[in-house]
Structure 1
């Protein structure tokens, strides 16, 4: 590794194949220009600002680096711009799709940025998006190769920039791709605003972008045919610490998807293969081959790999085998029993030897399906009220296992009914996801202590090692009809936000899926 120039320090560890160097003070520009390709950022001296740099690899964020703050503290001359740089280390350029700098917006709600010049290829140029802070930055990329300079207008996260007439500014034209490079138009859903409470359609925006058909070594271009919308995504809309990073304002959302490989530079992932990956909410995605999984559509339909053979099916299996294991003769209670996890969980509990399986769902249509399709012995309609009383009627001697995707009153009712040595798997809390104030906990928690019951949380990502075991058991059950499932399908990428909002309101039976390329 080369020594750092004077005034520079390493701002982040090696991540995603790109090392990062940040420089401040007089001479930083000259020091950086001698170091290679990268992004150069100049800010007003003496002001504390945050600078986030995302290195995009194969179309997805590989690294998010920390603040470059107190820019200009060691400048020494008031009113002179100090300088900060971020460098992509030599030898990594061929793996990067570009460098995106999240700059700052002016106090009047508009950001007047300078220029974005490309360090790799013109097709790698990305737009600039800005959070609301106090000052504007000038952004440029010093080039060892011939550069194309592209004027850009940044968009503050709270609203579109306005012109003198109050009308929204048009999006600047995209640069033409280099000669011989074909671009594919792709629509995507981006996060337009962070919701307070229940999300609305205005928190999302549909945008059209372009993805290159010329791929790097080991990359694939996937046309998404199915995508998943799931309750956990609500948490990613908030800018708050969690087990998974939040969605970024102005950037496309992410989530599970199944698609067809339409171009490939990876020997193990040929054109025509069906793959699963995590770049949903868009029509096309460029990914590293390591980020996709080839699935066998001869044993199950492609959509099943987002439902019973995907993360939701795995969540039900892991919950009832590892977190709150079902034993022969157990009484099992499942909330959200007509949803993606619950509709599979009741049938798994039966396969594992449960003597009685009770489900809760909203409305008579869903409770009927619990009994007629999903194999439940008793069904509770929580919309009727009196949840503890309904549960006591369905399980007069109590319950041994409770699978909880809901939280709130369902968790309280289950604790009230738990038997000695009972097990509760906490897999979600959809009843609280839109809360603007902290949700109260169960008022009978000590009942769990008296019964020596176990309450254990679960993230499905901690149990991915069970995938082969689960799919090996589930695929034959699905094929011969012993595992019965349903899905709720919404056609058209533009309706994906509608589908997501529907999941939060309980509009789905089974797995909620979107067909991005289908017209509504």
Structure 2
């Protein structure tokens, strides 16, 4: 334990991030000061929002500066503590970013109990992705008994939770995913009524058949072809929580015409649609309710989840590329160090 390894944002990526924009380098092991703790990363969470933080553009979160460690949530073990708030051997939710070791103020850490749930879920179904699904669907989708809910990226970390909560609310749930095994999984394991593959040539026809009464809620994670198909099927007063647009994150120019903004704005008016962009961190007043409800749902077997774990910090860039290409099955994690709780 005489050195650290970390991914530095070396240059702003154009299109897909690669080893030229994200460089793995050795660095000195950090030393904790008063009130701080030295943390060893066990799991690094990979999430689509990270792509936006690599750009030098105004957004809801500050961009990572060139030369800085790439940011991200982590599950860590406390190695050394200079605070009574945490002790060596504790497992904590932290924000180490893409590196093996980090120093953090102890009062920013959230302790995790491996006896209650696998510690990896702290950045998954019991963490930010689960909370995103909870807030987006319940606060802005406002599901009602009998609604038809379409969920894009249905097999992903957020989508898998959205669909299961919607089923608990008595909705018909239609998933959209990009592979046959993903579609099979969300129907078999999560209870979706049907799932369609957006890569199929007849995707639009399949979606229309799956939604014979139209669409009341569309949980938007993707954009692109999926969004276009959904917009032909939305009912009056449909609600569209906008969580992500992953199909567009690596675009280097605007799509070719025609410009469909004018007819789209007309549809918003005529159909009286509600589109609401949201960021989970703006709604922390619901966090306690989420933790209570989600913990109970998992204990009761009402919520299931899938994790896609890649071993080795050195494989982080390729894993992140796979996430942006939809290759992951469930919540994407990098296991940076062995998990002593498993």
User: Scaled by the length of structure 1, what TM-score is found?
Assistant: 0.62
User: Are 1:418 and 1:448, in contact at CA under 8 Å, matched by a contact in 2?
Assistant: no
Secondary structure of the structure 2 residue equivalent to 1:209: strand
Any unmatched runs of 5+ in structure 1?
1-182
**Which of these residues, 223, 227, 235, is aligned with residue 52 of structure 2?**
235
**Which of these residues, 141, 157, 160, is aligned with residue 324 of structure 1?**
141
CA distance in 2, matches of 1:184, 1:481: 44
Secondary structure of the structure 2 residue equivalent to 1:409: helix
Give runs of aligned pairs for residues 110-509 of structure 1, distance below 5 A: 184-213=2-31, 215-354=32-171, 356-439=172-255, 444-509=264-329
| 1:406-441 per-position Cα deviation (integer Å, ceiling 9, x unaligned) | 112222222221111110000110010011113466
| 1:322-356 per-position Cα deviation (integer Å, ceiling 9, x unaligned) | 122111221100001011100111001112231x1
| 1:293-347 per-position Cα deviation (integer Å, ceiling 9, x unaligned) | 1122221100001110010000100011112211122110000101110011100
CA distance in 1, matches of 2:260, 2:44: 33
Q: Give the number of aligned pairs.
A: 335
User: Are 2:217 and 2:240, in contact at CA under 8 Å, matched by a contact in 1?
Assistant: yes
Aligned residue number for residue 47 of structure 1 = none
User: Are 2:153 and 2:175, in contact at CA under 8 Å, matched by a contact in 1?
Assistant: yes
Cα deviation for residue 446 of structure 1 reads: 2.0
User: Are 1:190 and 1:249, in contact at CA under 8 Å, matched by a contact in 2?
Assistant: yes
Larger Rg: 1 or 2? 1
Aligned residue number for residue 115 of structure 1 = none
User: Are 1:187 and 1:206, in contact at CA under 8 Å, matched by a contact in 2?
Assistant: yes
Cα deviation for residue 472 of structure 1 reads: 0.9
CA distance in 2, matches of 1:301, 1:441: 46
User: Are 1:257 and 1:280, in contact at CA under 8 Å, matched by a contact in 2?
Assistant: yes
User: Are 2:9 and 2:22, in contact at CA under 8 Å, matched by a contact in 1?
Assistant: yes
Say what the alpha-carbon RMSD is for the aligned residues.
Answer: 1.7
Cα deviation for residue 449 of structure 1 reads: 1.8
Secondary structure of the structure 2 residue equivalent to 1:494: helix
User: Are 1:427 and 1:459, in contact at CA under 8 Å, matched by a contact in 2?
Assistant: yes
**Greater per-residue helix proportion:** 2
CA distance in 2, matches of 1:292, 1:441: 46
CA distance in 2, matches of 1:434, 1:376: 30
Moved over 6 A (4+): none
User: Are 1:307 and 1:340, in contact at CA under 8 Å, matched by a contact in 2?
Assistant: yes
Cα deviation for residue 184 of structure 1 reads: 4.1
User: Are 1:211 and 1:286, in contact at CA under 8 Å, matched by a contact in 2?
Assistant: no
User: Which structure ranks higher in relative contact order (CA pairs < 8 Å, sequence separation ≥ 6)?
Assistant: 2
User: Are 1:184 and 1:212, in contact at CA under 8 Å, matched by a contact in 2?
Assistant: no
User: Are 1:416 and 1:444, in contact at CA under 8 Å, matched by a contact in 2?
Assistant: no
Cα deviation for residue 280 of structure 1 reads: 2.2
User: Are 1:300 and 1:479, in contact at CA under 8 Å, matched by a contact in 2?
Assistant: no
CA distance in 2, matches of 1:485, 1:189: 28
User: Are 2:198 and 2:225, in contact at CA under 8 Å, matched by a contact in 1?
Assistant: no
Any unmatched runs of 5+ in structure 2?
none
User: Are 1:415 and 1:448, in contact at CA under 8 Å, matched by a contact in 2?
Assistant: no
Secondary structure of the structure 2 residue equivalent to 1:316: helix
CA distance in 1, matches of 2:181, 2:135: 28
User: Are 1:360 and 1:381, in contact at CA under 8 Å, matched by a contact in 2?
Assistant: yes
CA distance in 1, matches of 2:186, 2:24: 36
User: Are 1:488 and 1:511, in contact at CA under 8 Å, matched by a contact in 2?
Assistant: yes
